[in-house]
Amino acid sequence: GENVEQHPSTLSVQEGDSAVIKCTYSDSASNYFPWYKQELGKGPQLIIDIRSNVGEKKDQRIAVTLNKTAKHFSLHITETQPEDSAVYFCAASRQAGTALIFGKGTTLSVSS
Amino acid sequence: NAGVMQNPRHLVRRRGQEARLRCSPMKGHSHVYWYRQLPEEGLKFMVYLQKENIIDESGMPKERFSAEFPKEGPSILRIQQVVRGDSAAYFCASSPKGGSGNTIYFGEGSWLTVV
């Protein structure tokens, strides 16, 4: 089955800096890659996703890149702000009819 | 997260009791997923259901755990004879249809504590 690895597990940046989180997946049939943000005591919230027919997607300060050949995808947050502090999860979807498989998460801390 | 309703938000059970967690998907969504999150760990897939059908239960423990999504009413995750290791946050998510590439939306979770 699918396996998703996520790095780093923790990331500390200064406000205004960029943050990059990387994930790799094992199943070459996976074709959907969302990213979720989880704040303490809350459920995961979708922040951006990418499908395998594109290599990059951007939404304001957040961007995601996908390299299908290497089977890895990354989340880029620019101009980080303290409110970006949270746990971020990447995920991959296998064949049709199956559920998302998540990475173990990255705790991002943005200090002002 | 808006729209996926989970209750109770917090549940305390003694060892050996039963825990029932309920999930109402977003309006118009007929696919429900249950995930478990242990402290400081990621989200582990448990089960994927469509109305009246279990599509994938490969992540469900073999014993004590069951899930259903009846034609009418919420999806239920049932844990019988709870043990301390069952203490975790249980998240429900829903999507409008199944298959790869369909966005899923999570609820706020149910925190189970077994004492």
d(CA B82, CA A13): 41
| B106 near A CB under 8 A | yes
Q: From chain B, pick out residues whose CB is under 8 angstroms from the CB of A101.
A: 45
Is residue B98 over pLDDT 80?
A: no
SS3 category, A6: strand
**Interface size between A and B, measured as CB pairs under 8 A:** 68
d(CA B30, CA B59): 20
| B85 near A CB under 8 A | no
d(CA B8, CA B28): 22
- Tens digits of residue pLDDT in B55-78: 999 999 999 999 999 999 999 999
- Tens digits of residue pLDDT in A39-98: 999 999 999 999 888 899 999 999 999 999 999 999 999 999 999 999 999 999 875 556
Is residue B28 over pLDDT 90?
A: no
Is residue B26 over pLDDT 70?
A: yes
Helical spans, DSSP H, in chain B: none
Nearest by CB to A101, from B4, B45, B55: name it.
Answer: B45
Q: From chain B, pick out residues whose CB is under 8 angstroms from the CB of A49.
A: 103
- Tens digits of residue pLDDT in A2-41: 899 999 999 999 999 999 999 999 999 898 899 999 999 9
The pLDDT, as a whole number, for residue B1 is 47
The pLDDT, as a whole number, for residue A88 is 97
The pLDDT, as a whole number, for residue A61 is 97
